[in-house]
Chains A and B, each alone.
Chain A
């Protein structure tokens, strides 16, 4: 690991810590502040500050220092965590995040004014207004002479406990020797005991010595900074030694002082008279050699990590928590999944060959391989899976902010945060979900006054729920607000010319109108929901993920937005069907059952519906729909598919069974053919087109609603003129 990687690791770590900080702050609001939690809160900023200092990121150190002060007082009970403080700390969190983000992107940081404002608020809190600048620890002593080669006299009166404290007199001497030349040493053993009174763990050694080097008093004192607490350390320039002794700054006892005097005289101390004449040197500038030598290194660290190829580089540092995860570049995983896809196809080819060949052993072998491939596929795909909590977790903050802004009282319930979803989908779900949640708070949840009037709890609830259901993932965003206003939606839609005044629509279809571009029923567009992204964008993003969105709403009870997504985007379980001479794939997750097409319905060109155990099932004859010649004498079958709560029967010429398949996108030339979702390669090398069930169902719905509005069809079919629900 080099410094570039280290700074990258710092950024990763800092963002994780900030996330923790946010979580705790949001959590602490509802729970009574627990000391362990406050300590953890302190630790987040404390660690960021500490590490930022290592990389000489002074801006971050300076700011986090003030935040840390506040957190420390919070931890010690001097401050209590109230709403205002939480709010301030959250804004500080945002600020630190923005500063870090700017460093990562090498762009300009957040503006100074906001920082000044935050600092002022913090200062007001902590009362240590304008507190000490945090960037540098104080130089060891204020009196620093200019560095010049000269002689010094030292008395190192090591205390009896230094050894127990891990301080070895010899190591100080060795270190001193790196700064110059130790010319004379007089060992003193004042308290040395004989026999059993001698304690081997105790230090009896003290030293008087003469030293020559180009250094300052501060630097020399610095050498012994750790020993000072336990020991009497006296340092003086040779010329001023007598004067120093006379001042007795270290507070030595008389006996000890007399001893030092005697030894220093031996080492060449001048008499007071001589000394006065020879000590004119006064401090000119504080030369902190430590800070100076650190500067070049600091500069090299602070330089932007230009060479760092990938910010997602795996952190190799060993750490108990980290050991459980390995970070891998997303491209590597994608390449692997693509290869697995090829393997799936190749495996299917092997299977087919084995079956054609007919040798039992060969078939068994190829079956075994297939099972393994299936396992590898599942395993690899699960690597792409991340918990949806990753995006859910940012919403408590959103809810909090929006709620505050609108003056409502709303809590967020999160259920199923551990539900796993393809990583690429997670990334694209954030914005649509954010929009739905904002909408739910803004338009869904009523104000406290209205809620009380309606006999609901004053605090509204927005609920995020994720779960698996038959090969899909369902994400629900629900609220217990006022529900959608059916009539208002209709009126608006007619007003906008989206539908005709006499259109007969189901409840579902009416609700779905709010997804039409430019539709907004809120009498007044607030700053929250009028942000340009409309519900149409939400639907489009979901559809891009091969998902659907659906609304259930009951007036005064609430609204549920239900998003249904496929588990993964790369590979699907398909159901192979034959239409004419070609093979098509229907995504298995949409298939409910297969039935034989009743004899009576085979030829009737108008019989587009089937009685499926008492339920009216619209049929779509794929051969004529796709304009391919139907197979002669085929025993036609109906594949019943479903999206949302709509079922359609697809009439096909033959059923070939389940088939695991990799989705290969079609070229842009075919992008306007909506009913074809992609293509795949079969085991025998043939190409099969993947049908988009969503589009097929939509087509059938449109066809039926068009037809039902024509009276002659009703008469012919003998169906009542009321549309089916």
Chain B
């Protein structure tokens, strides 16, 4: 069974393009448009990897990851955070939340795919 990846970003075009690349590589994709939406969409299902933006309306990415990691089912779920070069402070905050994988925006879909494969092969 294909591995499931959740993309959380407030830009629907970003979700779409990353989603296309991931689906093309054989992953299943779940989308969330912000942290709150993503939490609701976890819904107990098996998620093999989460890709999340930091800066989003309603609930930011770091809060989302912290809350997700509090749920036993997602304690070990790997997270790739999307970030800008200019957010060293956010990165520290993310580290505390247990995020180790960062991908710098802007990125090409292929770069994202590579990062994903390092953590979870399809």
Binding site for B on A (CB under 8 A): 1-3, 5-7, 9-10, 13, 39-40, 42-43, 46-47, 49-56, 61, 68-69, 72, 132, 134-135, 137, 162-168, 171-172, 174-175, 178, 201, 222-227, 229-230, 290-291, 293-294, 297-298, 301, 315, 317-322
Contacts and interface: CB of A to CB of B under 8 A. Distances in A.
Given A50-B106, A167-B78, A13 B13 contact: yes
Contact of B16 (A9, A167, A225, A298): A9
Given A132-B85, A166-B98, A49 B118 contact: no
Contacts of A61: 106
Contacts of B53: 50
B76 A226 contact: no
A360 B86 CA distance: 78
A1 B20 contact: yes
The majority secondary structure among interface residues of chain A is: helix
B69 to A, nearest CB: 8
Interface in B91-117: 95, 98-102, 104-111, 114-115, 117
A1 B20 CA distance: 8
A301 B24 CA distance: 15
Contacts of A321: 33
B2 interface: no
Contact of B108 (A53, A69, A230): A53
A312 B120 CA distance: 37
Interface residues of B, number: 53
Given A47-B10, A171-B121, A223-B118, A55 B100 contact: no
A51 B55 contact: no
B17 interface: yes
B22 interface: no
Contacts of A49: 84, 105-106
A342 to B, nearest CB: 38
Closest 9 CB pairs of A and B: A53-B106, A166-B78, A294-B110, A10-B13, A317-B12, A226-B101, A294-B108, A50-B105, A137-B104
Interface of B: 9-18, 20-21, 31, 33-34, 37, 49, 53, 55-57, 75-80, 82, 84-87, 95, 98-102, 104-111, 114-115, 117-121
Given A137-B104, A298-B108, A3 B119 contact: no
Contact of A226 (B18, B108, B119): B119
Contacts of A178: 117, 121
Contacts of B121: 171, 174-175, 178
Contacts of B31: 317-318
A176 to B, nearest CB: 9
Nearest to B82: A50
B100 to A, nearest CB: 5
B105 A53 contact: yes
B70 to A, nearest CB: 13
Contact of A165 (B16, B99, B108, B110): B99
B100 A6 contact: no
B110 A6 contact: no
Given A51-B106, A175-B121, 7 more contacts: A6-B16, A50-B14, A54-B109, A72-B87, A163-B76, A166-B77, A319-B33
Contacts of B101: 166-167, 225-226
B78 A297 contact: no
- Which of B15, B57, B111, B120 has its CB near the most chain A CB atoms (within 10 A)? B111
Given A46-B55, A72-B86, A171-B119, A164 B106 contact: no
A297 B14 CA distance: 15
A293 B110 contact: yes
B3 to A, nearest CB: 10
B118 to A, nearest CB: 5
A230 B100 contact: yes
Nearest to A48: B11
Nearest to B13: A10
A320 B100 contact: no
Nearest to A175: B118
A293 B21 CA distance: 13
Contacts of B34: 320
A53 B56 CA distance: 18
B82 A54 contact: no
A49 B13 CA distance: 12
**B11, B18, B57, B121: most-surrounded residue (chain A CB, <10 A):** B11
A229 B100 contact: yes
A307 B99 CA distance: 41
A13 B12 contact: yes
A107 B31 CA distance: 34
23 contacts: A6-B17, A9-B12, A13-B13, A51-B17, A54-B106, A55-B13, A132-B85, A137-B85, A163-B76, A164-B98, A165-B99, A166-B98, A166-B101, A224-B118, A226-B80, A226-B115, A226-B118, A230-B100, A294-B110, A317-B13, A320-B37, A321-B33, A322-B12
